[in-house]
Amino acid sequence: MDSDADPDPAEVEYLVTPVLDLSNYCDVFLHFQSETVVDDQATQAVVYSLDGGATVAGVAFKYNDTTGTTGPNALFDGGEEPFYAERVLSVAAVAGQPSVVFGFLYQSPGDRWWWALDNIKVTATECEVVGETCDNPVTVAVPSSTNGTTAGASPDNIGACGANNSPAVWFKVVGTGRDITAQLCGSPFDARMSVFDGACAALVCVGENDDSCGAGSRVHWTSVLGSEYLIRVFGSGDGDSGGFTLT
């Protein structure tokens, strides 16, 4: 991407990847080789989209902000000599997403510098799905924070408590005799949650929620000391899946 032609108008350029289906993948890494001159009037950033490139969901890496003084990954002063680097970025937000696009953004007022890129690739590990069935849930404590994914899990429409045909995983928590709040706030996909009492063959709905905190969900209930509660995490719509953090 070149901004040092003469004359050269103001520009917003993207070099983008094809749409990537990362539904069944965790620990996603973006690799690329880069040579550039960082400029205090230009933006050179790696961004990502979760909807096939229609919108930008976040920034994975940024050389500097528009002032060249602060911002994520502010590395160099503007106008230094060209430098080369091989970079590997861990991008957790795209794991489990079905329509991922990475974009390399060069934005400038015109007649600035350039950014050369080569050998761009994405690597990832397949997700290990745990807690895929009601009778084999993942046990969590109060309080705790547990990462998980529904990517690669199977639908298990139980027909109650907001259930649908999206992939689901299960957790178990033991009642403390006090109020418990289970939440998926900050989830990168539209996550829904149901809480049950009783055995898998005779589940009783304690509560369910969708989108009480952004795209995440939150359920609050008064627990009975020693009682076991099952938490079902699944997508808001049929087929929705992705990574999440249950707290």
3-state secondary structure the chain: CECCCCCCCCEEEEEECCCECCCCEEEEEEEEEEEECCCCCCEEEEEEECCCCCCCCEEEEECCCCCCCCCCCCCCCCCCCCEEEEEEEECHHHCCCCCEEEEEEEEECCCCCEEEEEEEEEEEEECCCCCCCCCCCEECCCCCCEEEECCCCCECCCCCCCCCCCEEEEEEEECCCCEEEEECCCCCCCEEEEEEECCHHHCEEEEEEECCECCECEEEEECCCCCEEEEEEEECCCCCCCEEEEC
Q: Tell me, what's the pLDDT at 67? A: 47
- Name the residue type at position 226: G
Report yes or no: 244 and 184 within 8 Å, Cβ to Cβ. yes
Q: How far apart are CA 75 and CA 66, in angstroms?
A: 13
Please, what is the average pLDDT of the chain? 84
For the segment 141-163, the average pLDDT, to the nearest whole number, is 83
Q: How does residue 7 score in pLDDT terms, banded at 50, 70 and 90?
A: low
Mean pLDDT (whole number) for 61-84: 60
93 phi and psi, to 5 degrees? -65, -20
Q: What is the mean pLDDT of residues 125-144?
A: 88
Stretch 165-188: mean pLDDT, rounded?
A: 91
Q: Let me know if 41 is exposed, middle or buried by CB neighbors in 10 A (0-12, 13-18, 19+).
A: middle
The token pair at 244 is 């999440």
pLDDT category, 69, cuts 50, 70, 90? very low
Residues 6+ apart with CB under 8 A from 202: none
Other residues' Cβ atoms within 10 Å of the Cβ of residue 102: 24
- Residues 10/103, Cβ–Cβ less than 8 Å: no
Distance CA 201, CA 181 (A): 24
pTM: 0.59
Check residue 24 and report its DSSP letter.
T
Token pair 């298990």: residue: 156
Banded model confidence at residue 66, pLDDT cuts 50, 70, 90 = very low
CA 22 to centroid of chain Cα atoms: 11
Q: For residue range 30-56, what is the model confidence (pLDDT) as tens digits? A: 999 998 877 777 788 899 999 999 999
What percentage of the chain has pLDDT greater than the value 70? 89
d(C-alpha 46, C-alpha 33), whole Å: 12
What is the distance between the alpha carbons of residues 97 and 50, in angstroms, rounded to a whole number? 7
pLDDT of residue 1: 63
Residue with the bigger pLDDT between 1 and 240: it is 240
